[in-house]
């Protein structure tokens, strides 16, 4: 801000710190939006393709229920399961970050990350703006297909929860966006240490797929013992960040977590957001230090 | 706004904008031998070496100077620019640019300089450059009136006003480079680092960029440090040339000084009446080229005053010209002759090996 050269008086007049920060951010958002729109065709196809896995999940569970005489499996009826998968799809629309960690690692490898060392701009802030832009476009494109699927499947859903629950659901979704972003951004910054991070990303995706609730509802693990009495596998997974990127918001909507447990889990989710925000900063800080010392 | 950490950088008395003392940078590189077997053993046992990219460079640049860094590939020029712009930290030594230690990357410092690195673009590939400019306006907190004035001035100087509305990916290399320069100068940096700004450009574009840089440097009193391989850049722009080879400064001074210091010969071109007999011209100097009656000779500078009258007396000369050895050749000779502090490999293009460890 303070400007030094007497020869060029008062150039780059400061706009006032807090607002300047916001303005950079909104300009980034606007520019990222424009950039996204350049590839709208690719984007639309990518968006629609995302609906395919859900169809296979619905068929799979229909087959499972047909093969058994039970009315419910671990507390999920046939209808609940379909509603659950559709809702995790909504969470994933917030928490999944296609290309984020790979993109960060690539920018380290090909050197384009230098730009963020030279310019007075925060790389993580930029990535966040870019990702929000990415998501906004995605929601615009995906809104109609989502609405269509939900309308067709409306009979599978329990009655709409009350306003308070919906509000908490929205909070859990926003947190799941931040958590997903921070997890993958931190993962991408491993690129400062390893030339190639795609196998690390793959391993992460695998764990994430199993433990996020993307594959099956996490409360199905409630009956799986861990060997320690009174602690089930679900209790362990609750303290990990993964289930907050798919299972948890869906469970809130469906009323699977309620009351004190709901607030406890929201607090865990928020705590993970804070932890990962700090981890992401540290990774950036140490990573750039390493980059400066060894690479460049 | 506030005066906390300013004041010391530049004073009218001319304390340097850039001051560098014994700056050194070493890299550890891992050898990757060829072959699958070697790759497998490499998993357990890697050999590494330390490469000295820069060995104790000291330098001071005053406000408004235009300095060229000259040197063969791998001499350490780009490493030096990266250090000055804070991308990398040195192994030893100190540097101050505008009063700041560059690799601390203070925002106040980063708002006051710019770096343009060859093809690495600051411009968004899929969008018109005008959008990238808008982003720079916010990043560097330039107020609107000033931004528009600076931008218009710069795009008009380079003749790229319409081009800034076209997606960058549709532009030619030269056009992109011009827009890169505009982007780098929007925030009116006091110091500008250019890494091979004219590489791959045609003569017209090169010339335009020379004129532009000269204008910017003179009008805005910008301190410019550029690396280049083109002597045209140097001759057109820089009063001061720093020759770097093998990570050390070999020469630092005006361009003419290099010519004085490192040329031993003059080039004499003669138009004779008839094609000379073989061996006829050798007594005057080394014949570089004999094409019919036109003869080009290399003659020792100290002998030129004696030899020239002799030629005119003994030969039928229609026309004669005496020139300096072309700058390119002087510099090529300079690079070749540069002592390599640690090398069995004196003309190797890469920085030399210092130490080998397992």
Q: What CATH number is given to the structural domain containing B41? A: 3.40.50.300
Residue B355 or residue A233, greater confidence: A233
Quote the CA–CA distance of A6 and B14 in Å, as a whole number.
Answer: 12
Q: How many CB atoms lie within 10 A of CB A151?
A: 8
Q: What is the pLDDT of residues A157-167, one digit of tens each?
A: 999 999 999 99
State whether B230 and B104 are in the same domain: yes
Quote the CA–CA distance of B272 and B241 in Å, as a whole number.
Answer: 38
SS3 state of residue B308: helix
Residue A264 has pLDDT above 60, yes or no: yes
Averaged pLDDT of chain A? 85
State whether B195 and B103 are in the same domain: yes
Confidence class for position B4, pLDDT limits 50, 70, 90: very low
State whether B212 and B319 are in the same domain: no
State whether B104 and B228 are in the same domain: yes
State whether B211 and B312 are in the same domain: no
Q: What is the pLDDT of residues A108-138, one digit of tens each?
A: 988 888 889 999 988 998 899 889 988 888 8
Domain final residue, candidates B241, B259, B277: B259
Confidence class for position B288, pLDDT limits 50, 70, 90: confident
Strand order across the B317-324 sheet = B286-291, B294-300, B265-272, B317-324
Percent of chain A exceeding pLDDT 90 equals 41
Confidence class for position A204, pLDDT limits 50, 70, 90: very high
Q: What is the pLDDT of residue A33?
A: 82
- Exposed/middle/buried for B36, CB within 10 Å: 0-12, 13-18, 19+? exposed
**Domain that includes residue B277, residue range:** 264-324
State whether B26 and B75 are in the same domain: yes
**Best to test chain A binding among B1, B32, B97, B169 (most A CBs inside 10 Å):** B1
Residue B178 has pLDDT above 80, yes or no: yes
For residue B126, is it within any domain? no
For residue B85, is it within any domain? yes
Contact call for A1 and B98, based on CB within 8 A: no
Averaged pLDDT of chain B? 83
Cα–Cα nearest to A248, from A195, A181, A169, A167:
A169
For residue B181, is it within any domain? no
Per CB distance under 8 Å, which residues of A are interface residues toward B?
Answer: 1-8, 11-15, 20, 23-24, 27-28, 31, 34-35, 38-39, 111-112, 114-115, 117-121, 289, 291-296
Residue A93 has pLDDT above 80, yes or no: yes
Q: What's the whole-number mean pLDDT along residues A85-96?
A: 91
Neighbouring residues of B61: CB distance < 8 A, sequence distance ≥ 6 = B16, B17, B18, B19, B67, B223, B225
Sign of CA dihedral A194, A198, A203, A204: positive
State whether B231 and B286 are in the same domain: no
Residue B224 or residue A55, greater confidence: B224
For residue B28, give how far its alpha carbon lies from the nearest alpha carbon of chain A (Å).
Answer: 7
Q: What's the whole-number mean pLDDT along residues B314-342?
A: 80
Angle at which helix B203-220 crosses helix B173-185, to 10 degrees, equals: 10
Q: How many CB atoms lie within 10 A of CB B305?
A: 8
Residue A8 has pLDDT above 80, yes or no: no
Confidence class for position B97, pLDDT limits 50, 70, 90: very high
For residue A84, give how far its alpha carbon lies from the nearest alpha carbon of chain B (Å).
Answer: 39
Structural domain boundaries in chain A: 20-287
State whether B253 and B268 are in the same domain: no
State whether B202 and B75 are in the same domain: yes
State whether B36 and B23 are in the same domain: yes
Residue A217 or residue B122, greater confidence: A217
Q: What is the pLDDT of residue B344?
A: 46
Q: What is the pLDDT of residues B40-82, one digit of tens each?
A: 777 777 778 888 889 999 999 999 999 999 888 888 888 999 9
**CA-based nearest residue in chain B for residue A118:** B110
For residue B320, is it within any domain? yes
Residue A33 or residue B271, greater confidence: B271
For residue B352, is it within any domain? no
State whether B270 and B250 are in the same domain: no
Q: What is the pLDDT of residues A167-193, one digit of tens each?
A: 999 999 999 999 999 999 999 999 999
Confidence class for position B120, pLDDT limits 50, 70, 90: low
For residue B177, is it within any domain? no
Total tally of structural domains belonging to chain B: 2
State whether B234 and B277 are in the same domain: no
Q: Which two tokens stand for residue B289?
A: 């080229």
Residue A12 or residue A246, greater confidence: A246
Give the closest of B82, B132, B139 to A24, CB-based.
B139
Confidence class for position B102, pLDDT limits 50, 70, 90: very high
Confidence class for position B125, pLDDT limits 50, 70, 90: confident
Residue A284 has pLDDT above 80, yes or no: yes
For residue B7, is it within any domain? no
Contact call for B7 and A4, based on CB within 8 A: yes
For residue B119, is it within any domain? no
């Amino acid at each position: 801000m303070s400007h030094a050269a007497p020869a060029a008086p008062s150039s780059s007049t400061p706009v006032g710190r807090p607002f300047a920060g916001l303005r950079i951010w909104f300009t980034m958002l606007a520019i990222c939006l424009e950039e996204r729109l350049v590839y709208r065709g690719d984007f639309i196809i990518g968006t629609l393709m995302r609906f395919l896995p859900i169809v296979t999940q619905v068929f799979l569970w229909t087959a499972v229920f047909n093969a058994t005489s039970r009315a419910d499996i671990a507390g999920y009826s046939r209808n609940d399961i379909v509603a659950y998968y559709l809702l995790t799809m909504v969470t994933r629309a917030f928490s999944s970050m296609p290309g984020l960690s790979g993109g960060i690692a690539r920018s380290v490898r090909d050197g384009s990350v230098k730009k963020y060392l030279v310019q007075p701009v925060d790389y993580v802030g930029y990535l966040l703006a870019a990702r929000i832009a990415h998501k906004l476009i995605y929601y615009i494109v995906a809104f109609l297909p989502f609405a269509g699927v939900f309308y067709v499947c409306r009979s599978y859903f329990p009655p709409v929860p009350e306003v308070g629950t919906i509000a908490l659901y929205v909070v859990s979704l926003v947190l799941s966006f931040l958590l997903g972003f921070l997890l993958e951004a931190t993962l991408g910054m491993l690129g400062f240490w390893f030339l190639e991070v795609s196998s690390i990303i793959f391993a992460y995706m695998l764990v994430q797929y199993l433990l996020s609730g993307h594959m099956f509802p996490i409360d199905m693990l409630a009956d799986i013992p861990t060997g320690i009495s009174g602690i089930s596998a679900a209790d362990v997974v609750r303290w990990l960040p993964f289930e907050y990127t798919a299972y948890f918001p869906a469970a809130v909507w469906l009323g699977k977590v309620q009351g004190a447990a709901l607030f406890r889990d929201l607090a865990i989710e928020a705590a993970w957001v804070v932890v990962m925000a700090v981890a992401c900063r540290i990774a950036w800080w140490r990573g750039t230090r390493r980059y400066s010392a060894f690479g460049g | 706004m506030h005066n906390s950490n300013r004041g010391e950088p530049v004073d009218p008395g001319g304390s340097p904008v850039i001051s560098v003392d014994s700056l050194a940078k070493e890299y550890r590189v891992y050898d990757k031998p060829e072959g699958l077997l070697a790759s497998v053993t490499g998993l357990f046992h890697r050999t590494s070496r330390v490469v000295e990219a820069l060995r104790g460079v000291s330098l001071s640049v005053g406000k408004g100077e235009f300095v060229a860094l000259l040197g063969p590939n791998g001499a350490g020029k780009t490493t030096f620019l990266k250090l000055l712009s804070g991308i990398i930290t040195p192994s030893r030594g100190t540097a101050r640019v505008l009063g700041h230690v560059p690799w601390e990357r203070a925002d106040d410092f980063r708002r006051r300089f710019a770096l343009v690195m060859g093809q690495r673009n600051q411009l968004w590939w899929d969008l018109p450059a005008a959008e990238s400019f808008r982003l720079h306006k916010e990043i560097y907190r330039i107020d609107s009136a000033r931004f528009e004035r600076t931008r218009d001035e710069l795009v008009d100087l380079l003749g790229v006003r319409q081009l800034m509305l076209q997606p960058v990916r549709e532009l030619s290399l030269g056009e992109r480079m011009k827009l890169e320069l505009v982007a780098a100068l929007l925030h009116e940096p006091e110091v500008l680092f250019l890494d091979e700004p004219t590489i791959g450009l045609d003569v017209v574009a090169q010339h335009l960029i020379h004129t532009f840089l000269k204008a910017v440097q003179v009008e805005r009193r910008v301190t410019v440090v550029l690396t280049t391989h083109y002597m045209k850049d140097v001759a057109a722009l820089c009063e001061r040339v720093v020759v770097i080879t093998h990570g050390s400064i070999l020469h630092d001074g005006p361009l003419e000084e290099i010519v004085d210091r490192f040329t031993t010969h003059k080039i004499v071109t003669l138009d004779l009446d008839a094609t000379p007999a073989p061996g006829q011209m050798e007594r005057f100097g080394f014949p570089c080229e004999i094409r019919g009656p036109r003869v080009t000779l290399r003659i020792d500078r100290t002998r030129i005053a004696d030899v020239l009258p002799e030629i005119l007396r003994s030969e039928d000369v229609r026309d004669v010209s005496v020139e300096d050895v072309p700058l390119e050749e002087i510099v090529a000779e300079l690079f070749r002759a540069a002592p390599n502090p640690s090398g069995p490999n004196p003309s190797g293009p890469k920085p030399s090996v210092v130490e080998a460890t397992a």
